[in-house]
Structure 1
Amino acid sequence: MQETIAPAFDAKAFRAALGTFATGVTVITAVGRNGEPIGLTANSFNSVSLEPPLVLWSLAKKAFSLQDFVAAKHWAVHVLSAEQEGISNQFARGGQDKFAGVASVPSEHGVPLLQRCAARFECKTTFQYEGGDHIIFVGEVQQFEKNALAPLVFHAGKYALAACKDAALQLSQPADTEPPSFRADMLGYMFGRARRNFLDSMRGHLEKYGLNDYEWRLLTIMLTKKNLTSAMFGQFNQDAALDTILQTLTALQHKGWVTTVARSAGEEPVYCLTDKGVFDSVSLLAIAKSHEEQLLGKMDDMDGVLLKHLLHKFIQKTEGGSPNLWSDEFILKEGIDS
């Protein structure tokens, strides 16, 4: 009889498959056998029971701090907030003072308690079990706190952002058999509507300064990039004809916002903001930033962070040949001062 050999278990693939389960990120702290604070990053945290209130986490048997946690009678689980990615990295590394620069206060049992976490659980060791190559720690929660902070998420070996799914904003997906048609969930329509909503909040302020939307657009470019020629404006505004750009720049000159600086014979002059143009543009920029915060305040904090993150990612992936306003590509080498 021929022996059947089972295929080798692919540990790396198994780990990757487990990584598809998104988790929060925690830091576990306690007091070591020598009386010094100890801590590590773990995503093995889970709830066990409400009555009594029990939670668990696990630690590899080969971990340097294993015996300290085995001996500890009390420990704390900190569910990190989205802004604490640095703390997660710091406690995940070995061979250094993990508490350096990290704000903490001791519990009544001396366990270091980290601050500004999404949640924190102070626990008394109840059980310890062997689970393969890990030790499973079960503890009874004696005190806990929860803060209104978005949690740090870990998925597929990377940090992730979490946003609550609003049931009222379900986006319908067209059936495969549905003929192409204009839809409210089309990307171009949503971008245009979002831009309109933002500009609507600014339009009253622009009118007080005697500006229209397009003049404000050119001024924001000039506030970021100095000494631009009309050709460079054309590259930044490919959706407008050069004649329109020149007419707008001329109008801004008449209003005292923009001036031109001559260059060598035969070369295009460069456009610069006047002192008035700089002062008023900065004032409007501050107003725009305030309106941005107000608009983002209509969503949860993490929704705003996620929106900016996804927009930045979309821009990076779809940039193509469009010029980047914040690159040095369009700086004149002559370095003309206005």
Structure 2
Amino acid sequence: MRYLKKRKIVNIKSKIKPKLEPEVLPLMSYNEETGVKSLLTVSHNLRGFGSQKATQIAESLRLSASYYGFYSLSANQLGIMHRIFTVHKHLKKGLWLYPISDQSDIVSKEIFEKLDPLNIEMAIENYDIYINPKIVAVTETEEYGWERCGSLDGLKARIKRPIGIQLVYQDETGSFKEKEFFDFEARVVNHEIDHCDGKNIIHWSLSEGNIEIDQHLKEQYKSLGEEIHKYQEKIQQLKKDDPAVFMKDERFKSQYTKDGIKWNVVKNAYGNPIPYKEETLKFNMDFNLEMFNAAQKDKRRMDLKQEFFSS
């Protein structure tokens, strides 16, 4: 009898899971194979609100965004394939990365702490969490703007976005919320939803080839720069061959006006792809593969150079 009781206690203890602690997670990069897979995969909805796992993901997102100096961050940029992202509560137009003085550098922990000893600007309390987001309506009016991404260091893309969006999402308790975003806030939220949909700023359907490499990194990203230039011409040709892939009208089911603003109601979720021709699907696969290969080539060259000078 004693043996059975003792055994039962041991079994119960063995089933107790260790507490999951939030942590700063490695950033997925386009020049790593695992990073590319994560960045190009469509994320799935998060379930189990209030669980240790859900709490850990949300807090790890906040910690990682603060640590890397990002004003927004999606879970798949950390290798977590759930539709969840965080956005800073006090966005500043045009700023994607901290510090303000150099948008192209990812800030190390040591530099970050020196820049802001109190961590006031990038404190984790300044980040909101959006779970299972879905854009239900967008403004008819759109505008172009330059965007950056922490997973694509030194690159920026000029992307056309609606100036306003209506978002339905869940908070950390699982409650459904609805919120309108305008101007730069709308752009940032749209940017993160693209991440959830497996797209990033250099994707041909978003950038349409309008991609630039920071001047001081052009030599470092020589192969990638050559691929970008090549695809700028190919994308223009694709516009002629299959213009439907750049048209968004098919994604809307109705339109209404509110406070003088014309809104397009989205059929399912904003960003859902329209049916591609077989040639366009091949173009998409080739684009991603060749961009990755070019980034890998640049990385190998930089690694060899660093190894040479350190020896």
Tell me the TM-score normalised to structure 2 length.
0.20
Larger relative contact order (C-alpha < 8 A, sep ≥ 6)? 2
Larger Cα-atom Rg: 1
